[in-house]
Structure formats: C-alpha cells, structure tokens
Structure 1
Amino acid sequence: MNFKKPNASFFRPNSPPALVLVVALALGGCAAKPPANPLAADTASTATASENALALWWQKFNDPLLSQLVTQSLQANTSIRSAQAALQQSRALRDVKGASLLPGLNASGSAGRSKSGDFDASNSFKVGLDASWEPDIFGGQRSALNATEADAQASEASLADVQVSVAAEVAIAYIQLRGQQAQLQIARSNLVSQQETLQITKWRAQAGLITSLEVEQARTASEQTSAQVPALEASIAKTQHSLAVLTGQRPDALRVMLKTTQPVPQAAGSLAQSIPAQTLRQRPDVRAAEHRITAALARVSAADAARYPGFSISGSLGLNALTLGAITNGATVVSSLLAGISVPLFDGGAAKSQVLAQEAVLEQARASYQTVVLTALKDVDDALAALKGDQARQVHLQAAAEAAGHAALLAQNRYSSGLIDFQTVLLTQRSLLNAQDTVASTSADLSADHVRLYKALGGGWN
C-alpha cells in the first residue's frame, strides 16, 4: 500500500530543490507510517530559527495594531475556542481508553430484610470488593490506545491549523482595511481637484469661452468620483465589522480603534522567501494528516488482534453478617476467583471484514496525506508567483501614477490658460484617479501576498 511515485512532469526545472526533496520523500513511499524528516542534523538549527520566525510572522510587518488584533483573535476567536474544545474531547477519550488497560476495582454494599411464613424476620448485610482485568496478550487494547493518542495529536494539529487560518484572515482583513482607507483618501483628493476644475469650467462658461457641454462633462466626472466615497466608506465599515468578529467582539467594537487612517503595513520581502522549504512539513494540516495515518494503522492492528482469543480475570472478596455491627467482627468471609478465555470460532467473516475495513480507512488516510502535501506545495508556489507578479506590477504602476499626476497638473494649467480643450483634462484626471487607485490596491495585494506565503509555509503557531 505504498504511495505511487508522481509523474516526472511534476518536478519542474525551476522548482526549488528543497521543495522537490520534500515532495519526493512525502510521495515516494509510506508503508507503515508517514515519511520521516528528510533533513540532515546540520540543518536543525536553521529550521528551528525559521520556525520561530514563522510562529509570530505578523510582527515582521512592524504594525503594533496588527499584532494586537492577531493576538486577540488567537485568544478569543470562536473557531479557535471550538477547536480547543475538540482537543479536550480527544484527550479525554484517550484517557478513557488508557484506563481500560488497568484492572478495574468496584466496591459494593447491600442491606436486606426478609420474612417467610410464621418465622421471624431476618436481616442480611453485605459488603465487598470486585476486581476484573483483561490482559492485553495480543496488543489489541494497546493498539486502540495508540489510535486514540494519534487522534488527540491530530486534534492538536487541527487546532494549530485553525490558528494559522485565523491569524492570516485577520492580517488580510486588516491589510484590506488599510488599502480601502488609502483608496478613500485618493478618491477625496481627486474629488477636490475635479471640483476645482468644475469651478474653472463654470467661470469660463460665464465668460462665453466655452459652452455648457464642458460644464456638464466636468460635473459628471465630479459626481462619479463623489459616488465612490460612500461605497468605499461602506466597504471600510464592513471590513471593520469582520475584524471585530474575528477577534471575538461585537461588529462595532473596533470602529473607534480603526477610524484613524494608517498606511498599508509592508513586510520585509526577504524574510518569507528565505525560510527553508523543509519547514513545509511543519504545516499543521500536514502533521494532522500524518497523525491520522498513525491512528488508522493502529486501528488495523486492533482489529486484527480481535481475531485472537481474549482472556479475563475476575475476583471478589466480601463479608456477610446478620447485623450491621457484625460486619467488622464475626462476619462470614466470602471470596471467589475466576479466570476465563473466549475464542472466536465462527462469526461469518465479520472479524476479517473489520480488518479489511480498517485497512481501507488506512489507505484513505494515505491518499489524504498525499493530497495535503500536494496542496501545501501548490499553496507555496501560488503565493510565490503572486508575490513576484505583484512586485513587478507595482513598480510599473507607481511609474504610471507619477506620470499621470504630472499629466493631470499640466492639463489643468493649460486648460486654465485656454491652450487645450476640456476633453484632455477629463482624460488626464480619469487616468490619474485610476492609476493612484490601482497603486493603492496593488500595495495591499502585495502585503496580502506575504501573508498568504506565511500561511502556506505553516506560520502562525508554535
């Protein structure tokens, strides 16, 4: 039941060597358990430093408010609290299964009064201890305990996966908010310029230099920009509400805190890309998939052990007396000891079918592990591609925005002097608004790309 080797086309010539190593070892074979860590000992210190950097990646944006919001969400987010409760449940079930390996001891007591015919009524008092134990000769109970232990570890990794997702979601929402605030400032700034142009157009129309057509065109441009302001304000309010809910608060709880406009936080571009690819195996979803394979493998062993004989030992020790006071003096001692064995002779193939069913579950877990690893690699490649593309795009957009600003200023000055027609002014103002808005949007996208890369690498938990 080993993994099939991936197609040779999967390994692209430009793939990072470390990523190729990870996926080759992850998909190359898994006969009894997930692949061991492929890294040599001399890379341990580098990996540890990288993991520490990834654990609190949001601090690399140098935005105290962002760090505060992420920290608060990790403490109060409802999804995280639900995952914590699931982890507690898994650990409790593991403890229940562990207790079954130990002997059981029960205390009992009874009191009775009986009367038959004309005879006097008689009392009967009994106290005793009952013990039982099922020796785990073939390891079935131990395998069941190992399965629940792996389930608990998978729940722990699932909790970490939720933490990773929530931290990234908060950061992206915060970056989106700052980007929307920047776009709102740009819209208001351009609106002021367009209103000035509209006023100039009215003066020239009153002087008979132009017709009312130019005035209406200027008013149209001004009103269109004005319409963007309430739309952006509504988007900002919605993002604030999302951030508040992510941090476990009422939707309007962060309105005052986030009211002041701040620049879009920017991360050091070299940090995320300098993290070794072997840290990909620290992704919580990858670790959870590994633990599920371990749990499924243990349940195969438990199902197989159920086909063999079972043993049990039980005993009791008790005191019988006619009066309550005689329990401690003069009571009759009653004891018993019983050893038993049960051997499955015929069950219609149910035990064998149970083993086959658990083997199928194991195969599903292995296939799921393969899917998780491939998805993890895809997430990293997608994030790197988006980051590279937005970095190149931002350079050209900033240059375009600067040129559009110069063109709009020149066009307005020349129109005031009557050197050009109004269509040129409208065109340059529209180009300026679009260019500046795109620069602000791309700046937010670039920061969000860093967040997605940190998330793809499994950052956000320790």
Structure 2
Amino acid sequence: MRALLLFLSVGPFFLQACGSTRAPALSAAGQPALLMPVIWAGAPAGARPGGAMPAATSGRIDRPWWSAFDDPLLSALIADALAANTSIHGARAAVLQAQAQRDLAAAALWPQLDASASAQRGRAGGASTGQRLQLGLDGRWQPDVFGATRSAVQAADATALASAASLGAVQLQLSTEVGLNYVLLRAAQARLRIAEDNLANQRETLEITDWREQAGLVSSQEAAQARAAAAQTSALLPSLRTSIARASHALAVLSGRPPAELLQTLAPAGALPQLSPAAQAGALNARIPAETLRQRADVRAAEHRIAAALAQLDRAEALQRWPSFSISGSLGLSAASLSGLGRSSAMLSSLLAGIALPVLDGGAARAEVSLQQAGLLQAQQQYRAAVLLALQEVDDALVALHGDRQRVASLQQASAAAVQAANLAQQRYRSGLVDFQAVLETQRSQLASQDGLASAGADVSADQLRLIRALGGGWREPLAGQQP
C-alpha cells in the first residue's frame, strides 16, 4: 500500500528528474535556408521598409483591417461572413480537435488510477457456494525517462498552434473574398450609372438628329448612326445588371444568406471602398520581407508544422534507441461479507516494475524513424513554398497597385477631357457648326474613358485588398491561453 501511494505521489516529479535534457524545438536548423530580400522588388521608387500595417492587432483580428476602409456595410458583411461561413466553423472545429489531441498526449505523462468494485455469489446444485466482495485501486505509469512522451506532447502543441494559424488564414481569406466581391459590386454599379448617363445623352442627341433629319438638314445615315450608338450603349446595361446580381449573390452566400436576400440591401449604389490616406501610406510603406513573413498566418502555420515534425522525429528516435519503463500496482480489499472488508486480512496489494527494450521488430522502429524524417522534409518544403508564395504575393500586389494608380491618374485626365469635348461637340452640333460624326466620336470617347476610369478605380481597391492580405491582414498569433 505504501509503495502504491509513493508511486502515485512522486511519480510525475521523478519523471522530470530522470528525463532526457534533449527536447525537440523549432530552430533555424529546422527550416530550409532562404535568402531573404532586403526590400520588396515591387515597392515604388523611394519607398522605405519598416512601416506598420494599418490593421495591426494583438492576439486575434480584434481591430479588423476592413475598418481602415470606413465602410459600415462592408464591415457588416465581413462580420456576418466570419460568424456564419461553414469554412470558418470547420477551421474552428479543427483547432478544438488539435487542442484535445494535445491534452490527450499530455495525459500520458501522468499516472493512471482506476477504481473497481465487484460482488460475486455462486450456487451449485441448488446450494450456495458463498459470496465474495471486492474493492480495489489499480495504478499504472510509464515514466518518460528518455523524452518520447514529451516529444509527442510538443508535437501536439505545435500542431495545435498550426491549426490556430490556419484558422487565421481562413478568416483572412474569407474576409478578403468578401471585400473583393464588394469591390466588384460597387464597380459594376458605378459602370452601370455611367452607361445610363451616357445613354441618356445619346438619346438626347438621337432626338436632335431625328428633328434635323425631318427638317432635311442631315441624312438618314447620320440618324442611323445615332440609333446604332444608343443601341450599343443600351446593350451594356443587361450585362452590368447581371454582374451586380452575381456579386450580390456571392456576398449573400459568403455571409450565410440565401443568394437573393441582399439584392435590395445592396441596390443603392455606393462608393468604391478606398483606404484612408494614412492607411494607404502605411500599406505602401510595407515592412521588410523578413518581418512580413512573421505576420502571415500561413507562414506561421508552416513553421509550426516543422516543429511538430521535429518533435515526432525525436519521439520515433527515442522509441527506437532506448528502453521503456513501466510501474503498476494495485491496492484492494476482498472478503466474503461487508464486515469482513474491515479486517486486516482482507487487504491485498501488489507492485510491479518492468523494463522493455525492442530486440526484434522486423524493422518497424527504423521504418517509423524514416517515416518521420520524410514528414520533416515534407514540412520543410511546404514552409519554403509558403515563404516564396508570400514574397510573390506582396511583390505582385505592390506592382499592380503602383501601376493601377498611374493608370487611374491618366484616365482621370482623359475622362475630364473627353467629357469637355463631348459637351462642346454636342453644343456645336445643336448650332449646326459640326457634323454628327464629331458628336459620335466624342460620345464614344467619353463612355470609354469614364468606363475605363471606373474599372481602374475598382482595380486599385482590389489591389489594396490583395496587398493587405499579402502582408498578413493584421493577423497576430493568439497568446497563450487565448482562444483563436
């Protein structure tokens, strides 16, 4: 009895005293060597590294990146999507599962104790053969002398952290997908408004042309050209309305609603979401690449998977090289009656200590080590791929944003000039100073430049979203004990 109680009380502390000092941990040697650039290749000339993301947070995405766009409807749509989307719920379930696996692995470090009770009565040939009452405690423990179990716990810890980072990546992916569809919606609404305004001008010109044709001032050819121009512009409207409906449907489904539920809510045309000037400066003044990689959830998840693979490899090597120890014991009472359980003669106790060392296993232990080595190599290559993808995404977003902003600046000048030219041409046509061909060309130029400006503005907004996503979206790894 004393031996069993001593085993149960000092066993965990004996584990720490006798344990191996070698603990698998993520180190620079565990990650593939990569030559990191000093500054982003796609950064505009004169940009300096070191700027902070406008949506930087602590722990979770509590101060979301979309707040920098100052669009309440966009914020509401993203909040609904994060609360209702099935992908988010699946990722959260994976985090809970990984945390439970970690607790399960940690339970193996501690002694196990079971309580039992039984009552037995026998009869033979109609006569009683007696009865037996038993009460007992059974304990067992496998001291983790060489760190195999602790390695399993460290692997489970790293896997849980990787799952939490993957949840952050899913949240960021979903929120930016909502943002991109919102940009498509607002861009289609802006283009529809431009097309309708130009159609109204063309129909007004068509009325003037019909009057002039009836008066014999223009030929039927000019009237036909005016009707063709108006019809071509009118043909743009159905496709733009279809784009609006599809974007609305996508936003509804992403936020957990039936496809057509948001059509009326999103019907009033709104402005394209744009970062505030301060947020734009912060996004363009991107951190240096090495710092950016630390704030991307997918890269951090890949790092944690390397840590898990290293710990699994250490566990496999410990099981292959070193013996395992076990201690078990029992303490119980056995008697024929309840009163007999109180006698000293009813007490039963046992204590067993054992050691086991693999001698012949058909190569299973070596195969397990090889399996974990291959898993580590795979995790390293996945980390390398995640880093290279992160570098590409940031550079692509910077290049696209810089180029689209230049395109917007040029199209703004072109659109202003085209509107002025179209107004002058229409005024002079009414006065009979120019022919219809001049009006037709200037109206076509006005529609093309205004539509191009709206599309380019949408591209800038989408580039801003992609850049924020590429820079990590303000994600921060949850602190210890904090729920993701």
Deviation at 1:297, TM superposition (A): 0.1
1:51 correspondence with 2:56 = yes
Deviation at 1:3, TM superposition (A): 6.4
Cα deviation, 1:235-256, whole Å, max 9, x if unaligned, reads 1121112112222222233233
Q: CA RMSD in A?
A: 2.5
Distance 1:118 1:234, change over 3 A: closer
1:375 correspondence with 2:380 = no
- Deviating more after overlay: 176-185 vs 207-216: 207-216
1:301 correspondence with 2:301 = no
Instruction: Give SS of 2:259's match.
Output: coil
* Residue from 188, 192, 195 that aligns with 1:187: 195
Deviation at 1:329, TM superposition (A): 5.9
Residue in 2 aligned with 1:27? Answer: none
1:250 correspondence with 2:255 = no
Deviation at 1:140, TM superposition (A): 0.3
- Hey, what's the Cα distance between the residues in 1 that align with 2:213 and 2:126? 128
Instruction: Give SS of 2:355's match.
Output: strand
Asked if 2 retains the 8 angstrom alpha-carbon contact of 1:319 and 1:333, the reply is: yes
Matched residues, number: 434
Asked if 2 retains the 8 angstrom alpha-carbon contact of 1:50 and 1:279, the reply is: no
* Residue from 337, 352, 355 that aligns with 1:341: 355
Residue in 2 aligned with 1:142? Answer: 150
- Deviating more after overlay: 70-79 vs 401-410: 70-79
What letter matches 1:378 in structure 2? Q
Deviation at 1:282, TM superposition (A): 1.1
- Deviating more after overlay: 84-93 vs 214-223: 214-223
- Hey, what's the Cα distance between the residues in 1 that align with 2:474 and 2:83? 13
- Hey, what's the Cα distance between the residues in 2 that align with 1:16 and 1:426? 41
Deviation at 1:310, TM superposition (A): 0.9
Distance 1:96 1:291, change over 3 A: same
1:421 correspondence with 2:426 = no
Residue in 1 aligned with 2:457? Answer: 443
1:266 correspondence with 2:274 = yes
* Residue from 330, 334, 337 that aligns with 1:316: 330
Asked if 2 retains the 8 angstrom alpha-carbon contact of 1:240 and 1:251, the reply is: yes
1:291 correspondence with 2:304 = yes
Residue in 1 aligned with 2:469? Answer: 455
Structure 1 residues without counterparts, runs of 5 or longer: 18-38
- Deviating more after overlay: 152-161 vs 275-284: 275-284
What TM-score, normalized by structure 2, do the two folds share? 0.84
- Hey, what's the Cα distance between the residues in 2 that align with 1:147 and 1:4? 19
What letter matches 2:283 in structure 1? A
Superposition pairs of residues 44-443 of structure 1, within 5 angstroms: 51-52=56-57, 56-117=64-125, 119-267=127-275, 268=277, 269-277=280-288, 278-307=291-320, 308-324=322-338, 326-328=340-342, 332-443=346-457
- Hey, what's the Cα distance between the residues in 2 that align with 1:407 and 1:95? 73
Asked if 1 retains the 8 angstrom alpha-carbon contact of 2:144 and 2:150, the reply is: yes
- Deviating more after overlay: 299-308 vs 55-64: 55-64
Q: Which one has more relative contact order, counting CA pairs under 8 Å at least 6 apart?
A: 2
- Deviating more after overlay: 353-362 vs 141-150: 353-362
- Hey, what's the Cα distance between the residues in 1 that align with 2:318 and 2:401? 53
- Hey, what's the Cα distance between the residues in 1 that align with 2:254 and 2:441? 42
Asked if 1 retains the 8 angstrom alpha-carbon contact of 2:55 and 2:473, the reply is: no
- Hey, what's the Cα distance between the residues in 2 that align with 1:137 and 1:118? 56
- Hey, what's the Cα distance between the residues in 2 that align with 1:49 and 1:220? 49
Distance 1:328 1:214, change over 3 A: farther
- Hey, what's the Cα distance between the residues in 1 that align with 2:239 and 2:41? 43
Asked if 2 retains the 8 angstrom alpha-carbon contact of 1:163 and 1:460, the reply is: no
Instruction: Give SS of 1:461's match.
Output: coil
Asked if 2 retains the 8 angstrom alpha-carbon contact of 1:300 and 1:359, the reply is: yes
Distance 1:441 1:370, change over 3 A: same
Asked if 1 retains the 8 angstrom alpha-carbon contact of 2:56 and 2:474, the reply is: no
Asked if 1 retains the 8 angstrom alpha-carbon contact of 2:81 and 2:175, the reply is: yes
Asked if 2 retains the 8 angstrom alpha-carbon contact of 1:286 and 1:373, the reply is: yes
- Hey, what's the Cα distance between the residues in 1 that align with 2:431 and 2:205? 12
Cα deviation, 1:241-281, whole Å, max 9, x if unaligned, reads 21122222222332333221111121132120124221331
- Hey, what's the Cα distance between the residues in 1 that align with 2:54 and 2:199? 49
Structure 2 residues without counterparts, runs of 5 or longer: 1-28, 44-48, 477-484
Asked if 2 retains the 8 angstrom alpha-carbon contact of 1:157 and 1:287, the reply is: yes
What letter matches 1:433 in structure 2? L
Deviation at 1:427, TM superposition (A): 1.9
Instruction: Give SS of 2:266's match.
Output: coil
Distance 1:134 1:74, change over 3 A: same
What TM-score, normalized by structure 1, do the two folds share? 0.88
- Hey, what's the Cα distance between the residues in 1 that align with 2:310 and 2:32? 19
Distance 1:186 1:67, change over 3 A: same
Q: How many percent of aligned residue pairs carry the same amino acid?
A: 49
- Hey, what's the Cα distance between the residues in 1 that align with 2:40 and 2:262? 45
Asked if 2 retains the 8 angstrom alpha-carbon contact of 1:50 and 1:275, the reply is: no
